[in-house]
Chains A and B, each alone.
Chain A
């Protein structure tokens, strides 16, 4: 494995490294809200739904560019969310089942299109298959610039609308009551998730990009009881995972970035669930032991006291 500093000496690598770190950061931030709104799987659905959108965008234009893919994936994501909404409203199916159906349907369609593209005569289709698991090394400067602007956009919106996003995540009914345009804010949040997902697809891949939304957020929840800090931590965890993923995948030949990034995020999750203060499993066990000891000590001294009293009598 290549030394990280050696790798970073390569200016091209610096760009990619920066892009992936920023991607992890923004996904982590926006993921907090989707996790707290109990829509963790929405990111996964949107990511899988993005694949046919990207394929169609490529088939229509023959150009590989994140900007165009964003439009295709955004449109597909929109159709997918409408589909989920339509199914849950008009049938007895719950949202998880509706998501499962839509997710796999879109993904299947995407794979079919991807195969068609592979065997087609586009000339520059090479690398499109990398979208399944991601290949950070295949990024070019313009991609990194797009990712950077996406990151700036996401973080700016989340900072400006922090109190709105907090309120619609905690108590949407109350938010509506004080006149917040809840439907608009929900759509905006969804749009930001689509943007994060699409920006992340090239680096992390369709299959695993959702992990960057869920895992850092869940891990961050173990370290704090304050939303502001949780969002920051989640961003840091996401950034760290992205950085590690890029580094390892760039140094080991042909290793896709997505799985490594996700493994890094998962490792952080295990550390969090074990060692998080208060909520972590270790902290909980220690607390339980302490309570047990105190209880035993107290009941012991109570028993002694009553013995003494009996003796005195």
Chain B
């Protein structure tokens, strides 16, 4: 992390979508995240990888201010995240809500517009049109009026993605969007990620499946309470770094790392 004066100046002009300095989070007495610092480049797909309990979701929630941090600073495009909320889109874990709630898919997507609406304003025709467009992008336009409990897990995940799209943000956070979804949804999510990248948006994804990391992400952030490594996938997603991050817990590492040596050449 060596920064010359030149790049520092450049950063001041074109601030990074996300810059985190010395972020620490503790539940009760135990630190869950210790002194995390990193900066994300605009237009990148970043995978956050680490073992269970490494603090991946916590990192995301603390960044968004959903849980309190004990120290550190989070800057979104150079300003405190509180001032930049309209630039941020968020896809929480699917299990975090009760899907038996009395509402339909379109209505959930419309919730993505709430941040752009004034306090007493209801979403209007334009918002509905936009929400439908977002549903269409995740291949769910036909399910707009479907009660959300009647959707499959993958479809629910896509509704959440569409809601984040409806936020019309520049920086997206997705908490395990690939967890427990069907093949169709996985494909829809990847297409969407690529499209967001093409539009110059930045996406940070908490990810579980080590086998797909190299295919999906430009950069990876390896996390285990502390930041283990962060950088371009080709350089960072190495056996050595993974071993360090996962400790002895990664018995299948040798197999999953196999394609690494092949793809190492295709880095940027």
Of the A-B pairs whose beta carbons lie under 8 Å apart in the complex, a sample of 25, sorted by A's number, is A36-B102, A162-B122, A163-B114, A163-B122, A163-B123, A166-B111, A170-B97, A170-B111, A173-B61, A173-B96, A176-B64, A176-B66, A177-B90, A178-B85, A178-B114, A178-B167, A179-B85, A179-B115, A180-B114, A225-B103, A225-B104, A226-B107, A227-B102, A227-B103, A230-B102
Verify B101–A160 contact, CB threshold 8 A. Answer: no
A173 CB to closest chain B CB (Å) equals 5
Q: How would residues 173 to 201 of chain A score, 1 for a CB under 8 Å from any chain B CB and 0 otherwise?
A: 11011111000000000000000000000
Q: Interface on chain A toward B: helix, strand, loop, or mixed SS?
A: helix
Measured in the bound complex, the distance between the Cα atoms of B90 and A164 in whole Å is: 17
**Number of inter-chain CB pairs below 8 Å:** 68
Q: How would residues 1 to 23 of chain A score, 1 for a CB under 8 Å from any chain B CB and 0 otherwise?
A: 00000000000000000000000
Decide if B252 is an interface residue (CB 8 Å cutoff).
no
Measured in the bound complex, the distance between the Cα atoms of B169 and A179 in whole Å is: 14
Residues of A within 8 A of B108 (CB): 170
Measured in the bound complex, the distance between the Cα atoms of B101 and A169 in whole Å is: 9
Decide if B134 is an interface residue (CB 8 Å cutoff).
no
Measured in the bound complex, the distance between the Cα atoms of B107 and A167 in whole Å is: 11
Residues of A within 8 A of B49 (CB): none
Verify A171–B102 contact, CB threshold 8 A. Answer: no
Residues of A within 8 A of B114 (CB): 163, 167, 178, 180
Verify A174–B92 contact, CB threshold 8 A. Answer: yes
Q: How would residues 97 to 132 of chain B score, 1 for a CB under 8 Å from any chain A CB and 0 otherwise?
A: 110011110011001001101011011000000000
Verify B111–A174 contact, CB threshold 8 A. Answer: yes
Q: How would residues 66 to 90 of chain B score, 1 for a CB under 8 Å from any chain A CB and 0 otherwise?
A: 1000000000000000100100101
Residues of A within 8 A of B102 (CB): 36, 221, 224-227, 230
B260 CB to closest chain A CB (Å) equals 35
Kindly list 16 other residue pairs between chains A and B, CB separation below 8 angstroms, not including A177-B65, A178-B114: A36-B101, A36-B102, A38-B98, A160-B120, A161-B120, A166-B103, A167-B111, A174-B90, A174-B111, A174-B163, A178-B85, A178-B167, A221-B102, A225-B103, A227-B102, A230-B102
Within 8 A of B (CB), among A148-174: 160-164, 166-167, 169-171, 173-174
A177-B88, A177-B90, A178-B115 known; A170 and B66 CB under 8 Å? no
A226 CB to closest chain B CB (Å) equals 6
A160 CB to closest chain B CB (Å) equals 5
Verify B147–A225 contact, CB threshold 8 A. Answer: yes
Within 8 A of A (CB), among B124-160: 147
Measured in the bound complex, the distance between the Cα atoms of B66 and A174 in whole Å is: 9
Residues of A within 8 A of B167 (CB): 178
Residues of A within 8 A of B85 (CB): 177-179
User: In chain B, what residue has the closest Cβ to A180?
Assistant: B114
Verify A170–B104 contact, CB threshold 8 A. Answer: no
Q: Report, nearest first, the 8 A-B pairs whose CB atoms are least far apart.
A: A178-B115, A225-B147, A179-B85, A177-B90, A227-B102, A171-B97, A170-B101, A230-B102
A221 CB to closest chain B CB (Å) equals 6
